[in-house]
Chains A and B, each alone.
Chain A
Amino acid sequence: MDFAPDAATRKRVEQLSQLGRAQIRPLGLEADRLGRPTPPDHPFFDLLIQLGQGRTRWSEESEAKSRDASRSRGGSSLVTLCLAEELSYWDRGVAVSFPGPGLAEPSILSMGTPDQKRRFLGPFVEPDRPRWGSFAMTEPGAGSDVAGIEASARKDGRHWVLNGAKSFAANASRADWIVVFATVDRSLGREGHRAFVVERGAPGLGNFAIERKMGLKAYESTSFTLEDCRLPGENLLGGEEHYARRAGFRGAMKSFNATRPMVAAMAVGIGRAAFDEARVFAREHGRLADARVRDRLERIRRRLRAARLLCWRAAWLADRAQPNILEASMAKAVAPEVALEAACLGMEILGEVGARGDHLIEKLFRDVKAMDIVEGTGQIQRIIMARRLVKLPSERG
């Protein structure tokens, strides 16, 4: 067993931490003060592109390799996860505003045809400018219960016609394209879902509205509508064969998940930031001698450490393509709760200073709550765990 990241990972974390201190945290505080997402033409994003950020994991070579059928792909989610935690330590809102294909990349990688990967991820290999992708599943009427989405997809000759409304999609208004989920038949539940790549400027795509959020203001969470939005057949992710094939695996659940441990690690990052700030404040104000304060800080440190170990373990399993659904949900259920506890305690240690609304901990307190909502709420994680642990029947018969 080994409980330490290797030297190469530590070095990358250290580099990120320098960028974090110098740029990411100040930018996050600025966006929070101004109450708007960092605009897409901000020079920070050009700097990121120069630094090699904002890229896709996909490449022509990786494409060639994945065609080389049976090779099991050893992933690197552990490294990505360590970096994600560090990034969120400095500012989770800014982290999500980073250019790149973002949350939509896994959908394109897992469902897209080779042509689609080239077409949509190709521009992110050596991007000429900051580019974003976006992912839109959630609707005003359906979040946790994804089977309940109402956006519809209707076939019209070689084209598809989409109608509906999406909400909270990160980076949607600045994106080159948005992966949109819609249904061909609501009575089929998830079986009826189709994923489309809707490109900027597509006819009928519009009404972008950036939501006003409690925190995480540095990136845009955006609602938009699709009104008779016509898309060429090639924009159906995976092509029609993909869905015909998938129908054969009805009910088969994916056996591992790399996103939930990642989001959980981001929560650990926020919690760690709150903890560090609280501890420094307590020390500077002579409060560490107070056992009541020390004990509660100790508890936060301990719970953050345990949460991080759960994240690491889930990602380690994913990297080895071993089942990790239970472990991933454990991490995702625990980390946001601990991080919220850290921010709450931080506010208490600040006392009235926390109520002024101008302290970093106060911002973290507003940022952190979203972590228990995105990527499956805490309740949904418990449902997923209970399915594994006690065969909890699915909510839909």
Chain B
Amino acid sequence: MIDFELGDELALIRETALGFANDQLRPRDREFEKARAVAAEVHEAFRAIGLGAIEVPEEQGGAGLGALARVLVFEELAAADAGAALALDSLGPALYPLLELAGGDALDALARPVLERTGARGVLVWDGAGRVRRERGRVSAEIPWVPTDRVDLLVILDPTGAVCVSEGIARSELRGAGLRAAGASALRLEDAPVRAAWEGAAGARRALARARLYAAALLVGVMRAASDFSREYALNREAFGRPIAHHQALAFLIADMATAVESTRLLVQEAAWRIDGGEEAAEPCATAFLEAAEQAMFVTPNALQILGGHGFMQDYPVEKFMREARTLGLLFGGTDAAREEAGRELDTTPGPAAVGGAGA
């Protein structure tokens, strides 16, 4: 039966992530942004709490947890610093094509080295529009932005499968619009050798679904932080003789922002629950990502607005939240590609009740 109880294990995992985020990430967010990296001792601390390779199977040295654990932990990390969350998660969503298309041996050969080297980064690029050219075991492509300053393993996912590249990648550093703690680079591949390639449309679809969910969880964290921060501020700032939160225009806005966070989180958790239940969940994940991207662009600019001019200044984190929200929503084809995926089901589900009946 419908149940929103996390259970002891998941509650503990979330608690751990929250503690880590508050102690290690939140106080240093501007420092990481400036350094374009997370300090080495923070990497160590993250490793120590055992949440590093959260969805990597235990045989490959991971925590072997599911999608629900992932979204809980990543909401917490992103609520403190979304860029740092990406930087700390060395393999990132590049894990998903390996999990869905490749299997244990490839995880050992390709993923393990990235996981074991502090600061190493795996990168996932979605190629929905055929921008990557493949010829005789070599790939060429221009990738305008990836949130990283190094690439140890590049996984390019397209609707038919994935290829894996680790040499022949020319990287040029970018300023980056957001998520700078993870870095920002443009990549250029010219006849780079393919290290491994896998085919399978179904696996590719699942991998993309999980990548979208990954971004959605980060978006929930960012918008939650923005909503909480601006609410607190609105209680302390006075104008026209009372806290600005007590002017109805802001009180209602604050209520709507809190509601947006809550409802998006539920959609994200539901999609994660479907993945853990073995469903393909392409549509629910695309839907959750879309909602997260849209709602984050409702919540974070309004959070800035609540701080007025101060919101525009980098002394407060809200301008950073707004940049992070905008950038996260651009990942994996962005919202239009997600709309394409989610909209497909409208055509294929027969009869009425595509929302799912109350009993569905």
Interface residues of A (CB under 8 A from B): 1-6, 9-11, 13-14, 17, 78, 82-83, 85-86, 89, 265, 269, 272, 275-277, 279-280, 283, 288, 291, 294-295, 297-298, 301-310, 312-313, 316-317, 326-327, 329-330, 333-334, 379, 381-383, 385-386, 389-393
Contact = CB atoms under 8 A, between A and B. Distances in A.
- The 9 A-B residue pairs with the shortest CB-CB distance, nearest first, are A13-B359, A276-B352, A385-B255, A386-B251, A309-B266, A390-B245, A10-B359, A294-B343, A6-B1
B254 A390 contact: yes
Contacts of A288: 346-347
A305 to B, nearest CB: 6
A4 B279 CA distance: 13
Given A2-B3, A390-B231, A310 B287 contact: no
A391 B357 contact: no
B190 interface: no
B68 interface: yes
Contacts of A390: 231, 234-235, 243, 245-246, 251, 254
A176 B8 CA distance: 50
Interface string B1-35: 11111110010000000000000000000000000
Tell me what chain B mostly uses at the interface: helix, strand, loop, or mixed.
helix
A306 B346 contact: no
Interface in B47-65: none
Interface stretch (B118-126, B142-150, B206-214, B256-264): B256-264
A316 B252 contact: no
Contacts of A303: 291
B4 A313 contact: yes
Contact of A9 (B245, B256, B342, B359): B359
Nearest to B261: A330
Contact of B262 (A5, A276, A327): A327
Given A291-B343, A302-B290, A310-B262, A9 B254 contact: no
Tell me what chain A mostly uses at the interface: helix, strand, loop, or mixed.
helix
A330 B354 contact: no
B90 interface: no
Nearest to A379: B252
Contacts of A279: 346, 352, 354
B237 to A, nearest CB: 11
Contact of B259 (A1, A82, A291, A330): A330
A298 B359 contact: no
A302 B234 contact: no
Interface size class of B (residues with CB under 8 A): 35 or more
A298 B342 contact: yes
Given A298-B343, A333-B259, A309 B270 contact: yes
B346 A294 contact: yes
Interface in B224-258: 231, 234-235, 243, 245-246, 248, 251-252, 254-256, 258
B353 interface: yes
Interface in B335-355: 339-340, 342-343, 346-347, 351-355
B331 interface: no
5 contacts: A1-B273, A3-B270, A13-B358, A279-B352, A306-B267
B282 to A, nearest CB: 13
Nearest to A300: B355
A330 B266 contact: no
B300 interface: no
B269 interface: yes
**Most chain A CB neighbours (cut-off 10 Å) among B231, B235, B267, B346:** B346
A291 B255 CA distance: 32
Contact of B1 (A2, A306, A391): A2
B70 to A, nearest CB: 13
B355 A1 contact: no
A89 B262 contact: no
A147 B254 CA distance: 26
Contacts of B245: 386, 390, 392
A1 B346 contact: no
Nearest to A304: B355
